[in-house]
Amino acid sequence: MTTRDDDTHALLGAFVLGGLSDEDVTEFRNHLRSCLQCRQELDQVAELPRTLELGRPSEPGWLAPI
């Protein structure tokens, strides 16, 4: 991987969590076409946002007033 690839690889987490600009999303998707390592890592973390949602309380609960 080149330095540019390393920079793009670092965008994986933000991509999965929806934290990239439209331009960065396009750049990352283009990178995925040629980077097997990133595609494999993306497959491993693709469910992360859904998993994080499952851990979020649906109601404020008894700690809300604190």
Please check whether residue 25 lies inside any domain of the structure: yes
pLDDT at 57 (0 to 100): 67
Please check whether residue 64 lies inside any domain of the structure: no
pLDDT at 47 (0 to 100): 80
pLDDT in tens, 3-57: 566 677 788 889 988 899 999 999 999 999 999 999 999 988 888 767 666 666 6
Please check whether residue 61 lies inside any domain of the structure: no
Please check whether residue 32 lies inside any domain of the structure: yes
Q: Using CA atoms, how far apart are residues 8 and 11, in angstroms rounded to an integer?
A: 5
| SS3 annotation, the chain | CCHHHHHHHCCHHHHHCCCCCHHHHHHHHHHHHHCHHHHHHHHHHCCHHHHHHHCCCCCCHHHCCC
Query: What is the reported pTM?
Result: 0.64
Q: What is the CATH number of the domain that holds 19?
A: 1.10.10
pLDDT at 55 (0 to 100): 60
Domain that holds residue 38: 3-54
